[in-house]
Amino acid sequence: MARQSDEAFFWMLFSAGGVIAAILIPVHLFLFGLAFPLGWLPAPDYERLMSLVHMPLVRVYLFVFCSLPLFHWAHRFRYTLYDGLKVKHLNEVIFALCYGGAVAGTVLAAYLTWTIA
């Protein structure tokens, strides 16, 4: 289980991920999740997106986009389970699943953004 001193570290990740999610996810979700699939706006084609992804800065951006918000989720979701559903007896399991998931997503994001170009 997290000690008091570790808690600050996890809170920093939570906070940074919260900022990234708040500023960046709505526009991404609106464009790629709603506007393009529903035909409200013309979707960029494969070549166009690949030319974007070839820029190193875009790949760093995608890595951050796919990593920090997962740590935001891990922190919030584990406390929702602890307090909301009162499953305190499973603390260790929940902790491992939440941060395990966030770390797995981060590793996958690093691999994909590293090998895509």
Partner 1 sequence: MRQEIVKAAPAYTEFHPRWYRAPVSVYWWLGQWRYLKFILRELSSLFVASFVVITLLQVRALRNGPEAYSRFQHWLQSPWMIALNLVSFLFVVFHTITWFNLAPRAMPIWVRGKRLPEFLVAAPNYAIWLVASVVIAWFVLR
Using CB under 8 A as the binding rule, whether residue 103 contacts partner 1 is answered as no
Using rule CB under 8 A, residue 94 touches partner 1? no
H-type alpha helices, the chain? 4-28, 46-53, 56-79, 91-115
Whether 117 and 54 have beta carbons less than 8 Å apart is answered as: yes
Of 1-9, 26-34, 88-96, the window that binds partner 1 (rule: CB under 8 A) is 26-34
| Residue 42 near residue 100 (C-beta atoms within 8 A) | no
Nearer residue to partner 1 within complex by CB, 2 or 53: 53
57 Cβ neighbours under 8 A, 6+ residues apart: none
Report the interface residues with partner 1, using CB under 8 A.
Answer: 18-19, 21-34, 36-38, 41-44, 46, 49-50, 52-53, 62, 65-66, 69-70, 72-73, 75-77, 79-80, 84-86, 101, 105, 108-109, 112-113, 115-116
